[in-house]
Amino acid sequence: MSLQDKLDTFKADFEGNKAPPEVVAIMRKATADLIASGRAEKALKAGMRAPEFALPDAHGQVVPSSELLQKGPLVVTFYRGVWCPYCNMDLQAIEAAANDIRALGASLVAISPQTAPNRRKSERENALSFPILSDHGNALANEFGLRFRLPDDLITVYKGFGNDLAIGNGEDSWTLPMPARYVIRTDGVIVYAEVNADYTRRPDPSELLPVLSRLKVGAAA
């Protein structure tokens, strides 16, 4: 089953059997409004230069993008939080492809606004072999054009689920990144970008392999 098939199955069960209709309506409207805003189309795209970053991992070690890019291409995934089942399935799919990605010379990181304990929980529960870096207040996500604020009615829904982002993220902006996947070439240029305002839609990690294969062939030429 593909990643998107798994996400679609989960969504159908959640909306059809678990969430009240009024909650589903609020969540659907928030997604539709974000799509209509055109924000995803304004995010950084292939051919643009990626912002440099130096962010702490879940254990406090600062990870500079410049050091990772000295080793080879960098795969970056912006991740909402451990509370998001779609994000967790996405990370698990990336982990399933991680060895193939590394075999093509690339490094992997996920980037999330969560506090360190929540990032450690996410790494542990998803059995990740790559780090989740801290993007406090979604500052880096903003540089990539991914940051948005949740509407007030959706904030109320999230709190009803017991998901208070002010606590989980350690600041009260109630912002999140749109889910996004990037491949950054060693010179800092983005060669693959997938951004979707609908958090239930995610690219399959297998899409990364041809991109990385081309980079590897080009580097050897």
Dist. CA 143–CA 158, nearest whole Å: 25
Enumerate helices (H) and strands (E) in the chain, giving the number of each. Answer: 9, 9
Contact 195, 153 (CB under 8 A): no
The bridge status of strand 74-78 relative to strand 107-112 is parallel
pLDDT band at residue 164, thresholds of 50, 70 and 90? very high
CATH 1.10.8.80 applies to domain 3-220: no
User: What beta strand segments (E) does 52-168 contain?
Assistant: 54-56, 62-64, 74-78, 107-112, 132-134, 147-149
Q: What is the pTM of this model?
A: 0.95
Kindly report, residue by residue over 1-54, the tens digit of the pLDDT. 899 999 999 999 999 999 999 999 999 999 999 999 999 999 999 999 999 999
Q: In the chain, what are the domain boundaries? A: 3-220
Joined tokens for residue 151: 């509407």
> What is the residue type of 104?
L
- Residue 220 pLDDT exceeds 70: no
The closest of 41, 100, 58 to 75, measured between CA atoms, is: 100
Structure tokens at 2: 């593909």
One-letter amino acid for residue 86 of the chain: Y
Answer with the residue of higher pLDDT: 183 or 219.
183
